[in-house]
Structure 1
Amino acid sequence: MAKINHNNYLDVVDNMWTSAKEKGIMHINSEEQSFNGEKFRIKGRDLINFGTCGYLGLEIHPDLIAGSIELTKKFGTQLSMSRAYIRPPYIQELEELMSQVFDGNKVICYTSTSNAHISVIATIIKPDDLIILDQQVHFSVQFPCKNAKLLGTEVKMVRHSNYEMLEEMIRENYNKYNRIWYMADGVYSMHGDLPDTTILKQLLNKYPKLHLYFDDAHGMGWAGKNGAGYIYEQLGVNERIVIISTLAKGFGCVGGTAIFADSEMYRRTDIFGGPLSYSHPLSPASAGAAIASAKIHLSNDIYTYQAELRDLMHYMNGCLKEKNLPNISSPDSPIYFIGSGLNKVTRNFVHRILQQGIYVNTATFPVVPNDKSGLRFTLTRHNTKADIELLTDAMAYHLPKAIEEEGDCVERVYQEFGFHLKKKANNSLIKPINNSNLVVEEYTSIHDINPADWDCMFQDRGNISHSGMRAMEEIFSDNEKPEENWSFHYIIVRDKAAKVILATFFTGAIYKDDIVAPENVSKQIEEVRKADPYYLCSKTLAMGSLFCEGDFIYQDTQHPEWRNSVNCLFDFVSKTKKEIKATTVIFRDFEKESILTQIIEEEGFAKMRMPNTNVIQNPKWETPDDLMALIKSKKKRDNIKQYAIRNLDKFEIKIKNEITDKEAILYFNLFENVKKANYSYNFFQYPAKMPEILSKYKEWEFIEISLKENNQLVAVVFSYVGDHHYCPLIVGLDYNYIDSHHVYKQAMFQMVKRGNDLNKKITYLGLTADFEKQKYLALTIPTWAYLKVDETYNLELIESYSNVG
């Protein structure tokens, strides 16, 4: 089957961050002519800096500035030479000083922490090792692990700081691998939480094959003896612990470091450590600043700076507690995360704080779950206690304002983050308001809805007429396998005069979370599912269903109560999600942006690309020659003639509405062939009773394609016939005849021909095989869905499978 365009993780990031940029809370240009760490100048205003990671404020320390200038004067702006040839004296001096910071352990310095990870992971990891990534380990660690995977190293992922899951994975794989590497952060950059080093020590003692690899970039400087960082203070390094740290952030300059206790690991990396050898070393300016910072770290000054920051952290923690703000960060790190819930609330909240003259960061999906976004800020020695009071006062005032302004409930948000809201006498919470102008009807079966009412809205939208929905409910009910049983949820919103303003339906089902992942990713995941059928699957509440595609929502956007009807829709979705215990919600399939899709995005849903859909607005033709005359491209005409029209006499074509039990089995087997061969749109198999049930409904028909030479059934098309449209929804094929008889191309021709013969205005050709359908003048239409997940583990794990052949 032909490939389709897939949603990409980066596309989701692009959509979310582009929206944040347009709202002025990310990708902001500053205007200051000099920087002392205290303030940014943005749009002509000075904003107090609570966003940078120079925790100790060393980036403006006079010794670092002087060191940078001195070495630049001595050695110029760069040494354009690989370290493999020459290691300049200032790099030698820096690495010797850094070794002293880490108690004599070997240190290699890089131009960045990311380069350090690329270098070290490529050098020390072997194909017979196993890498276990913490879900939230920094991207700079995950990226080189993909390259390791290409070279044969197995890479797995555990939920964030889930040590039971980690130990279970260690036990399951212990005899399969030479070494097992757990890769994690020393201080996690989003929530500022810390790994449990006590448990990790126990695991190290229990499992001799276990090795630890830490990115402790956010722990450097402000924590530990000599400012060597949180992880070095707690665990140190040895033959089974490698630490990658930084010369940036708390250290005050630029660059990365790798710290080794294992002399052979150090030697191999130093001899040829990827970018260590094929890219430039640190510039004299960067090295000069780093040398000065290293000397500070080896002096008593470092403990004075650490104590000053700890005092500010203690004061910040007290103010946050006093203001009862939903701070979900560790009190032992200078990174803070204030939960605000929906993306639209966070954007409102951050914008308000920016307007107060305070710069903070935004944290939204996909970095955090859709409904658990928040305001992230950092604390540095540049800040004062007065700054802290100003920030916490502003957050305490503006957080409930932002929540209420965006139509959410303060109490709900606090509960979402595990906090109890301390109510005050004048604190009014948003409560759901019963709109007396609207009547909301909810159903769990199409049988309870008047057929005329439903068909008035949906009879010409694919196979979701009243009859089509009856067939669907019958197919996906009373089956043995849980994935073959769906729940159906209908909503109709009317005004007081009974006029319909909005209507749609959702299905609750078990989805494969890789449904639109690249085929090579789904193939890898399906191998795991042979032993664990529900691996990377989620209970999902989705608009429409996996047995139809198209426009699933009826709406009267001109009605004065339309916006309120949309609020009713979101209330319905929220309630239904809880009732069926779904963890994922999807709105689909939208062909273009609209007021509704904008509202959906504001509710925290992430926009993602779906497969294209293909539609023929049928021009009437009598003969194949007439069809050829309509197709302007000679290449397309020749292809259809060669593979379809010239082979017409080889096939027997029958149109059937009723089928025998034997035919139902044959039809399903042909469809199963296609399903097993196609990972491009990956979902669970339909129930085997599907053909038999469809044959009971007069709107459904089957195009049966057999070979005249031997009466062999080689293809079948399951089609829904509407009043004005034709919808061939399902194709079954005998793959033994794909190449020899081009049966798929013949099936495509017969679908188009049947829609024309029935004199339908539109033929819906559905998903996949865009190029083949375009030959028949099909209009290929991009479609999008909007996704919300309770937590991001499955999505991140699926992303970790990418870039692998």
Structure 2
Amino acid sequence: MAKINHNNYLDVVDNVWTSAKEKGIMHINSEEQTFNGTKFRIKGRDLINFGTCGYLGLEMHPDLVAGSIELTKKFGTQLSMSRAYIRPSYIQELEELMSQIFDGNKVICYTSTSNAHISVIATIIKPDDLIILDQQVHFSVQFPSKNTKLQGTEVKMVRHSNYEMLEEMIRENYNKYKRIWYMADGVYSMHGDLPDTIILKRLLGKYPKLHLYFDDAHGMGWAGKNGAGYIYDRLGVNERIVIISTLAKGFGCVGGTAIFADPEMYRRTDIFGGPLSYSHPLSPANVGAAIASAKIHLSDDIYTYQSELKELMDYMNLRLKEKNLTNISSPDSPIYFIGSGLNKVTRNFVHRILQEGIYVNTATFPVVPNDKSGLRFTLTRHNTKADIDLLTDVLAYHLPKAIEEEGDSVERVYKEFGFHFQQDNNDFKLESKNNSNLIVEEYATIHAINAADWDLMFKDRGNISHSGMQCMEEIFSNNEKPEENWSFHYIIVRDSKGKIVLATFFTGAIYKDDMLAQENVSKQIEEVRKTDPYYLCSKTLAMGSLFCEGDFVYLDVEHTEWRNATNRLFEFVAKVKKEIDATAVVLRDFEAEHPLNSLLKDEGYVQMKMPNSNIVSHPKWNSKEELLALLDSKNNVRNINRYVFRYEHLFNVTIKKTLTNLEAEKHYQLFLNVKKVNLAFNFFSFPVKIAKIISKYSDWEFMEFRLKDSEELIACVWSFLGKDHICHLILGLNYDYNESHHLYKQIMYRMVKRGNDLEKSKIYLGLTADYEKQKYGAKSVALLGYIKVDDMYNLDLLSSLSG
């Protein structure tokens, strides 16, 4: 019962990246027939390459090309055989050379860094270990870490590079586990920032159970002795440090590496190591290139190449500073991130740079927060100082123009990323685009709004009529618990003649971040909330509220100013969010064709699936036979006859307009029964007084269920009555009678029957339990929501719990 089609992480990624693809800034096809590392050919134009991760440019080195060709000629294109049976001589040679790069420590080579993580983590992590993931550690580390849960390993997450939080988590769990693993990146691939190795050394010395596991793929080649990488240069490896690196990126070819100082870890991984044994080894072509690169790394040439890249990095850092660009990356890595803010600004910005003949990357949600997307680029030895001059000039020219063109503020964006915009240095004149004569009215209570105006727009949209909002405000105010007190925020946008163009309302409340998560995730979190009730909760500004169903936005799309009105709406949301100190914004419930959908995406909101709304709109029926005749499915007819009509005579069903205090308490307890078992839609319980308050309002009614010859209340339904609709909003039941009397099915039928008896044109059956409601011909309306968060940590943590 009450199952929800959960929003999937891949759905979010698909939505965001599909939009970027449609804008021509991601999933771009290149057209060059040969490639020397300096340029891509895209749509007939040559674009300077600032997007690849071959930092030392070795992929075009003649020794690597020759080595690849030579080994292919000697051994063919592949050895289709597990290395558990045969490890060919050329892989032995490569691993011995890699061992020399890492001062004699043992090295295993893989077809990819991702395969290396899958292999090593599955082998070295034990059930009595604890894994602590850095929030931004690469997905290739997070994925196999989640899989260790199947053997009983616990996996936790700390905020990105938050070492105080890391140490606190180590202390709290120190006596519970044999080993504690902190897993992080050596160079973070999106922002190019670096871990604090000094602090990590201190923690290693202080906590003997602490072990470090690093993905240093982006540090290999350009950093350290023999190009062994950023982490190896600063920490090395020992029995408590494992490094996974790469043969790709700065190394110049393809493949992954695992570096061990612990002989037993090496032995166990080498013997089996998952994909190391059940998948193909590196091809001769890849190994030939890798051997040549390893020899370069063991020669003095590596230091020449490192020095050349370092000179370019220093020059890039100087130019970015001179241009006062929003670069938030470490000056010590060749990865750069220029913050631009909203997704629509980033798309505009990146498109402009591409049009200037320069290829760069796009960085958007979910890898960065909604309002902190940006342009990412990398620096390689293929680039020149002239390329850098051109890129930085173009970035400085187009960033403010992209921001202003999309209706955002340059000063706001710069402040968001910790910079001050220096207008004189950019020869850019800021212009206001708000030339509209619209009048924006803001209210904190429905009592300040004309009832006739409001009801003209919302009287037949669930329980959000003027009276319905009065009831809601009374329920969610003056309560003891903070989660039961909501702030209300209304906006009405009129034209100069007073005609309403747009209207809606928002509530500010504490939300559970796992509200739409999988049930098993919410179960884990609710265990923590027994002692920490606000764990993984966020102050949220939400369109509508959790106590209503319906279309929350009135928008006159025929009005010439409707787009300007939506801009005023976005400004209102930003202002209120700041006023109430919310960290998340949710807008809901929009059907697929709603005109705001595309605008919300442009504003940086990420689309997600919401629970469906279920609405019955049958013509009037006068008998059970007439109802069944309206249904399309014979199975549904049989189901209703068998489980509903067969038991109907057992129930007494009464309708009440008001409740005594004692009755209201009984109703509330039945509601709690449903609330406690329904973690598929997880929110804080409503205030105890809710039924008493509803009982004061004439447009609500209560349906009560008892067995005949019994006074025990076993189920209830609270319904809002509109002029042309009935909205069944709250359901409560005693589960002791559900299987024996098919109580829930009986309730569903009575809800449909009540709407029919009152001759309502629409019967809102509420969210969830779509299948049961569709048996009565309810139309399940797919709804979309949009979310924007300041901080990705809670979402990332939820993702880590869903393994």
Q: Same fold by TM-score, threshold 0.5 exceeded? A: yes
- Alignment check: 8 A CA contact 1:364 1:373 kept: yes
Conservation of the 8 A alpha-carbon contact between 1:618 and 1:760: no
SS in 2 for 1:17: helix
Contact 1:410-1:430 within 8 A present in 2 as well: no
Q: Is the 8 A contact 1:408 1:430 kept in 2?
A: no
**Between 620-629 and 200-209, the greater mean CA deviation after superposition:** 620-629
Shift, 1:432, TM fit: 7.0
**Structure 2 residue 143 is matched with structure 1 residue 128:** no
**Superposed counterparts of 1:233-312, under 5 Å:** 233-312=233-312
Q: Which residue of 1 aligns with 2:535?
A: 535
Query: What SS does the corresponding residue of 1:531 show, helix, strand or coil?
Result: coil
1:328 maps to 2:328:
yes
Q: CA deviation at 1:431?
A: 4.3
Question: SS of the residue aligned with 2:754?
Answer: helix
- The one-letter amino acid paired with 1:181 is W
Give me the whole-angstrom Cα distance separating, in 2, the residues matched to 1:623 and 1:86: 77
Shift of 1:78: 0.6
Q: Secondary structure at the match of 2:565?
A: helix
Q: Distance in 2 between matches of 1:614 and 1:183?
A: 45
Structure 2 Cα separation of the partners of residues 662 and 743 of structure 1? 23
Give the C-alpha shift of residue 434 in structure 1.
6.7
Show CA shifts across 1:339-365 (max 9, x none). 011100000000000000000000001
Q: Is the 8 Å Cα contact of residues 409 and 431 (structure 1) preserved in structure 2?
A: no
Code of the residue aligned with 1:274 in structure 2: it is G
User: How far apart, CA to CA, are the structure 2 residues paired with 1:676 and 1:723?
Assistant: 33
Q: How does 1:95-110 map to 2 (within 5 A)?
A: 95-110=95-110
- Provide the residue aligned with 1:116 in structure 2: 116
Counterpart residue type for residue 687 of structure 2: P
CA RMSD of aligned residues (A): 0.9
Deviations 1:207-257 (A, max 9, x none): 000000000000000000000000000000000000000000000000000
Q: Which residue of 1 aligns with 2:798?
A: 798
Instruction: State the AA in 1 paired with 2:463.
Output: N
Q: Are the counterparts in 1 of residues 187 and 217 from structure 2 also a CA contact under 8 Å?
A: yes
Aligned to 2:33: 33
Gap runs ≥5 in structure 2:
none
Letter in 2 for 1:312: L
| Conservation of the 8 A alpha-carbon contact between 2:515 and 2:681 | yes
Say yes or no: does 1:427 pair with 2:413: no
Q: CA deviation at 1:430?
A: 4.1
How many residues are treated as equivalent by the alignment?
Answer: 802
Q: Is the partner of 1:713 in helix, strand or coil?
A: coil
**Residues in 2 aligned to 1:60 and 1:109: alpha-carbon distance in whole angstroms:** 22
2:593 maps to which residue? 593
Q: 2: distance between equivalents of 1:758 and 1:52?
A: 66
2:734 is the counterpart of 1:734: yes
In structure 2, the residue matched to 1:386 is 386
Cα deviation for residue 538 of structure 1 reads 0.5
How far apart are the structure 1 equivalents of 2:14 and 2:652?
50
CA distance in 2, matches of 1:485, 1:421: 39
Contact 2:407 2:433 in 1 (8 A): no
- Greater CA deviation, 371-380 or 614-623? 614-623
Percent identity over the alignment is 76
What secondary structure is seen at the aligned counterpart in 1 of 2:423?
coil
Aligned partner of residue 313 in structure 2, secondary structure: helix
SS of equivalent to 2:517: coil
Q: 1:163 to 1:432 in 2, by over 3 A?
A: farther
- Per the alignment, residue 568 of structure 1 pairs with 568
Q: Which consecutive segments of 4 or more residues in structure 1 shift more than 6 A?
A: none
Q: TM-score, normalising length from structure 1?
A: 0.99
Residue 552, structure 1, aligned to residue 535, structure 2: no
Partner of 1:183: 183
One-letter amino acid of the counterpart of residue 784, structure 2: W
| TM-score normalised by the chain length of structure 2 | 0.99
Query: What is the SS of the residue equivalent to 2:211?
Result: strand
- Matched residue, 1:682: 682
Instruction: Give yes or no for the alignment of 1:617 onto 2:617.
Output: yes
User: What is the alpha-carbon distance in structure 1 between the residues aligned to residue 593 and residue 585 of structure 2?
Assistant: 19
**Distance in 1 between residues matched to 2:740 and 2:183, nearest whole Å:** 51
Write out per-residue CA displacement over residues 148-186 of structure 1, whole angstroms, 9 at most, x where no aligned residue. 012210000000000000000000000010000000000
Cα offset for 1:712?
A: 2.2
How far apart are the structure 2 equivalents of 1:287 and 1:255? Answer: 9
User: CA-to-partner distance for each residue in 1:726-772, whole Å, 9 max, x for gaps?
Assistant: 10001001011110111100100000000000000000111100000
Task: Tell me the alpha carbon deviations over residues 12-48 of structure 1, each in whole angstroms, 9 at most, x when there is no partner.
Answer: 1100000000000000000000110000000000000
SS in 2 for 1:257: strand
The equivalent of 1:440 in structure 2 is 440
Structure 1, unaligned stretches of length 5 or more? none
- Give the secondary structure class of the aligned counterpart of 1:454: helix
Read off the aligned partner of 1:682 and give its amino acid letter.
Answer: N
Matching of residues 466-545 of structure 1 within 5 Å: 466-545=466-545
User: Quick check: 1:407–1:430 contact (8 Å CA) kept in 2?
Assistant: no
2:49 corresponding residue in structure 1: 49
1:349-391: per-residue Cα shift (whole Å, max 9, x none)? 0000000000000000111001100000000000000000010
Contact 2:539/2:582, CA 8 A, preserved across alignment: yes
- What letter matches 1:228 in structure 2? A
Distance in 1 of aligned mates of 2:441 and 2:580: 18
Q: Counterparts of 2:675 and 2:268 in 1: how far apart (Å)? A: 48
**Which deviates further from its counterpart, 523-532 or 267-276?**
523-532
Partner Cα separation in structure 1 for residue 618 and residue 465 of structure 2: 21
Tell me the CA shift for residue 4 of structure 1: 1.3
Q: Which residue of 1 aligns with 2:636?
A: 636
Secondary structure of the corresponding residue to residue 131 of structure 1: strand
In 1, Cα distance between the equivalents of 2:540 and 2:335? 34
Letter in 2 for 1:267: R
Q: How far apart are 1:422 and its partner, in Å?
A: 1.4
1:762 corresponds to which residue?
A: 762
Instruction: Report SS of the residue matched to 2:376.
Output: strand
CA distance in 2, matches of 1:33, 1:516: 48
Superposition deviation, residue 495 in structure 1: 1.3
Q: Distance in 1 between matches of 2:261 and 2:709?
A: 74
Answer yes or no: is 1:337 the counterpart of 2:337: yes
What does residue range 81-96 of structure 1 map to in structure 2 within 5 Å?
81-96=81-96
Rounded to whole Å, the distance in 1 between the matches of 2:397 and 2:119 is 47
Secondary structure in structure 1 of the residue aligned to 2:424: coil
Task: Tell me if structure 2 keeps the 8 A contact 1:462–1:727.
Answer: yes
Q: Distance in 1 between matches of 2:471 and 2:150?
A: 46
